[in-house]
Amino acid sequence: MRYDDDRIAELERELKELSDRVERLEGPRRQHPPAHTAPPASPPTRSRDWAPRVPQIELEDLLGGRILAWLGGAAIVLAAVFFLVMAVSRGWIDEPTRVILAFLGSTLLYGLGLYLYERRGQTQAALAAVGAAIASLYASLTAATSLYQLIDPVLGLAVAALVGASATAIAVRWNARIVAGLGIVGALLAPVLVDAGTSGESLAFMAIALSASTAVLIWQRWDWLAAISFLVSVPQLASWLEANYDVHLGRALVVLVVFWLIFVVAAIGYELRVPIATLRASSAMLLLANAVLVSLAGYLMLRYGGGPDESETLWVIALAVAHIGLGAFGFRGRISSEIGAGLIAVGLGLSAIGLGLALSGPALVVGWTVEAVVLAWVARRTGDRRAFVFVFLFLGLAIVHVLAFEAPPDALLVGVDDLPDALVGIAMIALGALAVSRLLDREGREQKLILDITALTALVYLPSVAIVDTWTTGEPSDPGQTAQLLLSAFWSATGLAAIVYGLVRDNRSARLAGLALLGVAVVKVFLFDLAALDSIYRVLSFLALGLLLLAGAFAYQRLRVTTEEAEK
């Protein structure tokens, strides 16, 4: 019995030790309720104590393991660059020897980094060595090909493509940000660091590095890499275009289109591979920045590089059509609808600019208004309310254009320069606002109200401008007496008609609109007509207003009472 008791005690101690070890590894055990008590009625949830713990990175580990690796790799890259572009020991080492030594050193560092990572632990130092070696190899190739002309450009670019492919494979396989940051970004900067100039070879080297960056972005969701790649490559592209567009305009445009395609893939490549619910803000911003870059660069080159007449405008419009065409595939199920919506949004923005460049006067107002109505119809059919953002954008642009050029506010004093143009512009605003209002669904009540007010205001503004332009003298200091008298009478009569219509049809909106217009007429007569008109016109203005106000009060009281009695 004594032996059995000792054996049981020993087993209990071992069980207690095992339990303590499990508790230390996984956290305190959950406290179960006593057997005689009922468990709580709430749904079972995973205890916070049993949740997996995220490893915390100590500051010392961050500084010693990562920051030092990044700084060390960057220092090696800069050392290689200085070795390539500067004389060594008073020129004792010539250019070919420098390039060979840099290439051999980079290759050895590359192999050492691979060995350390695969055989001696997956450390940040090994990754930094690989990234620095890739950037140094790329700088060596760029200097040998573009700076010193020691290697045939075809061979140099082929080797650069192999280096870029290896950098892509390593960054994706190891999920190594440091390889992408030091290796690929360093390769993008290589033509600048070795001062290779704006030759075609240096641009080609940068394009290969940008392709490697884009390939990584297709597999990794690294927004920082997309942003840095764009910011680093765009100045080099712009420098090359500036140096070559006046001599080889067609070649410059082809290069610009190639880079546009690369940036489009860089922006949405990951979303094309992985289904998404919403398009990332970074991807949308890169799409927009790419469109601005390509449209502006192409416009300037065609305008000042001897392109055909109006070719710069056609460039912007063609770019808008290309974005809209690519985005249309999203709504046909071939790519994500979110990507399609983003591309179409960028294309619509460019189309607004293209119409502004291609058209002028009322034709531009007609173009913007028609586009707003078409977009409203598309939004109604697809159920995507985001399109109404561009609906209001285009309609707003049309309104601003009319108020700035065709019929500015001072047209109510001095008339307009061209009455037919003004009438067409105002009429398009009224018709467009009414059409968009009818295409809105029930959820857009506030927008419908704003559009209806806009349309009614335009319908009042149109004959007002016609009255003033027909009867005015055209001088701001001498407003037409007859024109202002007729304008006050028109506003008062229109307001009274709206009130009567609202009373007869029991339409509260019409009544409120009529009262508002009568209020504007009262303010005009008491503040403007009283000070600016001559005696006889002043008398007639007040008399007309008074009679119409009395008629409105009588109609309002009589018809309102009759309506209420009929309802009873």
Per-residue pLDDT reduced to its tens digit, 369-378: 998 998 888 7
The DSSP annotation for 512-566 comes to HHHHHHHHHHHHHIIIIIHHHS-HHHHHHHHHHHHHHHHHHHHHHHHHHHHHHHH
Average pLDDT over residues 1-30: 60
Distance of CA 285 to the CA centre of its chain: 4
pLDDT in tens, 158-169: 999 999 999 999
Cα radius of gyration (the chain): 37
Ranges 52-61, 80-89, 258-267, 547-556: which has the least confidence: 52-61
Give the per-residue pLDDT at 474.
53
Q: 433 pLDDT band (50/70/90 cuts)?
A: very high
Helices (H) and strands (E) in the chain, counts: 23, 0
Q: 562 pLDDT band (50/70/90 cuts)?
A: low
Residue 216 has pLDDT above 60, yes or no: yes
Residue with the larger pLDDT of the pair 1 and 549: 549
Give the per-residue pLDDT at 46.
42
Residue 252 has pLDDT above 90, yes or no: yes
Give the rounded percent of residues in the chain with a pLDDT score beyond 90: 33
Map residue 478 onto helix, strand or coil: strand
Give the per-residue pLDDT at 473.
62
Task: Report how far residue 264's alpha carbon sits from residue 251's, in angstroms, rounded to the nearest whole number.
Answer: 20
Residue 126 has pLDDT above 50, yes or no: yes
Give the per-residue pLDDT at 116.
82
Q: 54 pLDDT band (50/70/90 cuts)?
A: very low
Task: Report how far residue 21's alpha carbon sits from residue 29's, in angstroms, rounded to the nearest whole number.
Answer: 11
Task: Report how far residue 484's alpha carbon sits from residue 517's, in angstroms, rounded to the nearest whole number.
Answer: 16
Give the per-residue pLDDT at 43.
46
Residue with the larger pLDDT of the pair 469 and 56: 469
Give the per-residue pLDDT at 52.
43
Give the per-residue pLDDT at 51.
39
Residue with the larger pLDDT of the pair 53 and 237: 237
CA distances from 513 to 217, 434, 547 (A): 56, 16, 19
Residue 281 has pLDDT above 90, yes or no: no
pTM: 0.71
Give the per-residue pLDDT at 459.
95
